[in-house]
Structure 1
Amino acid sequence: MIRCWTPALQLAELFVSSLVHMGYGFYIFSTAVAGDASQALSDMLFKPNLDPAPKKEGSNETPNADGLPPIVLVHGIFGFGKGRLGGLSYFGGAEKKDERVLVPDLGSLTSIYDRARELFYYLKGGQVDYGEEHSKACDHSQFGRVYEKGHYPEWDEDHPIHFVGHSAGAQVVRVLQQMLAAKAFKGHENTSENWVLSITALSGAFNGTTRTYIDGMQPEDGRSLKPISLLQLCRIGVIIYDWLDISWLKAYYNFGFDHFNMSRKKIGVRGLIDCLIGNAGPFASEDWILPDLTLQGAIRLNSHLRTYPNTYYFSYATKRTRKFMGITVPSGIFGIHPLFFIRVLQMSQWRLPPDVSPPYKGYRDEDWWDNDGALNIISMTHPRFPVEHPSCHVIKDSDCQPLQPGIWYYKIVEGDHILFIINRERAGVEFDLIYDSIFERCRKHAFRKTPILPDHVQ
């Protein structure tokens, strides 16, 4: 069956490009991603649809893979889960590589904290509870979306999960694990850190990024926005988008701020003005994701997060820089979009303003120059600040076999920040090599009990 071009899908593609121009280019979508998304949408629209019927939202249906823990793919900032953007796959179709994979749709701009709460209820089921204290402090509703049936309701220490997080998605999973260890979910007092079997980060945002300051966060505090910046345009666009509350458009893409009740139906024009001038909404309360991605914000988060002894950890850091005569420069002009080339160049030259206090003792600008156009290499390998966690640099996968839990194994691969998402054709064979290694590790090397694998996986 051939999918037909419809005005709605045409608008969805136009929307992807619009996000780029209003600030979506901060992290994942730049013009490069708009091109990738357009190509992927074109493939979706004009190539035969051989996929099975989609599952119903909120159901706990999973492929028949008895005994296999689910692999949960968690998107990053400005990302989306299954069912958004006309069925476009954020992970480039990697979810089809295994029999039991889940791709949750979390808030794309909500805070790391809020996204971790959403992820728990997506899996376990029930109504998202952001917590009474947090909700009052951030001035939003305590309760959110309802999952009548969790996608993995049996989740517990005996039925743990493998998580794969791209970019900020990796930090979301770490916060979720800390919440499980702290038994932070009301009505679920038996949670523990051992509910998480493994965490794999793909370009993980563990230690923040200097890109946030280039795009508009204040380096003085890592919380507030510069008066004139790309992120200010993004803020205005998001507020208006949520205020208009066009149901069919939000079904295609949602920033995730529904619990802030910014719809025109609820707050009217006066409420819109309050949000725009900074008196209300997520940007006023700083309960959105950018403050979590500054160096100061990452340190605040990391001060509460541990690397647990019974969980396996692995990360892939993407790199698009090299040294030339002692200067950090982009590693090439081929295989990278021109706008990402500019971002790589900007980050490789960024310096903390001399009148700003360093975010941590021993800070050096040059440590943050190697980057992939969105994140710094020093941020992606493993958690480092305020305390460095146990780690091991891996050159070949065989060098770290058998894997030991409680250690961050990391590899550095050549590629920009979005090479392994959205459009697998762009990454080529390396796309399959990366994801095959991730899925194989989950199935064959990261377990507490010897798994019983289907014949074709053995």
Structure 2
Amino acid sequence: MTRLWLSALQLSELFVSSLVHLLYGFYIFSTAVAGDLSQALNECFKPNLSTGMREEEPKGNTSVDGLPPIVLVHGIFGFGKGRLGGLSYFAGAEKKDERVLVPDLGSLTSVYDRARELFYYLKGGRVDYGEEHSKACGHSQFGRIYEQGHYPEWDEDHPIHFVGHSAGAQVVRVLQQMLADKAFKGYENTSENWVLSITSLSGAFNGTTRTYLDGMQIEDGRSMKSVCLLQLLRLGVIIYDWFDISWLKSYYNFGFDHFNMSWKKMGVWGLLDCLLGNAGPFASGDWILPDLTIQGSTRLNCRLNTFPNTFYFSYATKRTTKIMGVTVPSSILGIHPLLFIRVLQMSQWRHPPDVPPPYKGYRDEDWQDNDGAINTISMTHPRLPIEHPSHFVVDDSECQPLQPGIWYYKIVEGDHILFIVNRERAGVQFDLIYDSIFERCRKHVLRKTPMVPNQPHP
């Protein structure tokens, strides 16, 4: 009987992992991440099958000697602690420090929705997406309930370090702006100074041309082409959420529960409505892809500030080089074969001449360097619609002591998934990057005197 139960469990996990791999393959990670994910899942499932248990998110306060938490925020198609059988999105980097949190946010939900979810994950309570936003986007105002926040004491005197990968970096910026704008009902004392530092790993600050390759319309950056990879993704996600199989959703969730796409709530006709594009997140545009176009990122950035009391760091990845003036992939063996194709496609992409450029001064050559998912120019620091203060770093010693209100950025040779999921691919670079991030947070990023909200930087 036990053997039969284990066989059923193995089959179910194989089914889910295969489904997730398929959906992953439609966008950012491409099939490249499927190999990494499969390898990591195989290692992860071994203890699960022997014990029948999975790691769960810790409850309550994780206070360690008064250290401010370091919060790792995943990107598109990502997942937090406890998903995918306990697999680590950040490939175990969270074990490098005593006080690290890895929230599980919507993997395909909009940057706005994810920022709201992140706030309540930390403070506790029921996720409130806001009445006006919820009505405009056609989903419930309230979402998941956190009986106890993972850092309920969070305030200006107990600020947080954030590390965001890919779209996760933009999520943190939106959250900080919401804190500055006092956008959370019942929390009138929030300020931008609740955030001590933001570190970006391959952050999607200014959008990516890959969205157009995969099916977003270049004309508006909001809608999808009729036939494209993203349409397949859309159909797969809608069907996945409609079936609403509890053990599947607990294993991996795209984050659209607040859209009520379950068969229990919308029935067959509701499913048809979603599939036809008349309802749901893909109809309203309240999902992640519109936020990752150049136009969508520019719209977001219009409302986002770089604040004078917060420390900012960015690691921009690149897997291209120039040969006789032509941008090409910089390596064959150093890039996953299928991600290699995306690096090549992005380096050769050209903006259609018959479509107005996304911003004044746009040049194709500026957007050719990339990591297979995001253009390198987009990852260094916020540039659109206005360029924020920045400093290119070659050696860490040159920016000591650190100054807040400036985006320090480095260019790292690597593809978009080098520092996540599969630690083996990054090799020694994995430890060098994460050790430097955690050391900086613990030793060099210090707010020596209490700051007054909106106090100008000297």
**Alignment TM-score > 0.5, same fold:** yes
Tell me which residue corresponds to 1:338: 337
The answer to whether residue 261 in structure 2 is matched with residue 262 in structure 1 is yes
How far is 1:46 from its partner?
3.6
Indicate conservation of the 8 Å contact 1:308/1:406, yes or no.
yes
1:19 aligned residue: 20
Matching residue of 2:44: 44
1:453 paired residue number: none
Code of the aligned partner of 1:41 = L
Distance of aligned partners of 1:258 and 1:403 in 2 relative to their CA distance in 1, 3 Å threshold: same
CA contact (8 A) 2:391 2:406 kept: yes
| Aligned twin of 1:385 | 384
Deviations 1:318-362 (A, max 9, x none): 100000010000001012111100000000000111111111000
C-alpha distance in structure 2 between counterparts of 1:21 and 1:342, whole Å = 18
TM-score, normalised by the number of residues in structure 2: 0.94
C-alpha distance in 2 between matches for 1:173 and 1:9: 36
**Cα-to-partner distance string for 1:142-175 (whole Å, 9 max, x where unaligned):** 0000001000000000000000000000000000
Shift of 1:425: 1.0
Q: 1:174 to 1:326 in 2, by over 3 A?
A: same
Q: Deviations over 1:58-80 (max 9, x none)?
A: 72231x51221000000000000
Asked if 2 retains the 8 angstrom alpha-carbon contact of 1:23 and 1:231, the reply is no
Question: Structure 1 residues 334, 405: CA separation in 2 closer, same or farther (over 3 Å shift)?
Answer: same
After alignment, is 340-349 or 350-359 more displaced? 350-359
Take 1:168 and 1:442, find their aligned partners in 2: how far apart are those partners? Answer: 21
Equivalent position amino acid for 2:31 in 1: T
Local SS of the residue matching 2:200: strand
Structure 2 counterparts to residues 97-116 of structure 1, below 5 A: 97-116=96-115
Q: Which residue of 2 aligns with 1:223?
A: 222
Residue 39 of structure 1 and its aligned partner are, at CA, apart by 1.2
Q: Distance in 2 between matches of 1:363 and 1:220?
A: 15
Quick check: 2:80–2:88 contact (8 Å CA) kept in 1? yes
C-alpha separation in 1, matches of 2:10 and 2:117: 27
The separation in 1 between residues aligned to 2:41 and 2:139, in whole angstroms, is 35
The alignment's C-alpha RMSD in Å is 1.9
C-alpha offsets along residues 354-396 of structure 1, whole Å, 9 cap, x if unaligned? Answer: 1111110000111100000000000000000000000000011
2:322 is paired with a residue whose SS is strand
- The SS at the match of 1:26 is coil
1 CA distance for matches of 2:202 and 2:24?
A: 20
Aligned-partner Cα distance in 2 for 1:394–1:401: 11
Letter in 1 for 2:33: V
CA shift for structure 1 position 10: 4.6
Identity of aligned residues (%): 78
Equivalent residue, structure 2, for 1:454:
none
Please list the CA deviations of residues 206-249 of structure 1 after superposition, one character each: whole Å capped at 9, or x if unmatched. 00000000000000000000000000000000000000001000
1:323-402 matches, within 5 Å, as 323-402=322-401
Q: Which residue of 2 aligns with 1:456?
A: none
CA distance in 1 between counterparts of 2:180 and 2:430 reads 34
- Whether contact under 8 Å (1:23, 1:230) holds in the other structure is no
Does the Cα contact within 8 Å between 2:24 and 2:31 map onto a contact in 1?
Answer: no
Task: Flag the 1:339–1:186 CA change in 2: closer, same or farther, 3 A.
Answer: same
What is the TM-score with the length of structure 1 in the denominator?
A: 0.94
Show the counterpart of 2:443: 444
Partner of 2:184: 185
Secondary structure of 2:143 counterpart: strand
Residues 1:389 and 1:5: Cα distance change in structure 2 (over 3 Å): farther
Change (3 A) 1:330 1:423: same
Match of 2:422 in 1: 423
Q: Distance in 2 between matches of 1:20 and 1:55?
A: 21
Letter of the aligned partner of 1:204 in structure 2? G
Per the TM alignment, residue 26 of structure 1 is displaced from its structure 2 partner at its CA by: 1.1
The 3 A distance-change label for structure 1 pair 328 and 10 is farther
The amino acid across from 1:18 in the alignment is: L
Matching residue of 1:290? 289
Preserved contact between residue 54 and residue 86 of structure 2 (Cα < 8 Å):
no
Counterpart amino acid of 2:293?
A: T
Provide the residue aligned with 1:310 in structure 2.
Answer: 309
1:11 positional shift: 3.4
Secondary structure at 1:150 match in 2? coil
Q: Counterparts of 1:405 and 1:353 in 2: how far apart (Å)?
A: 39
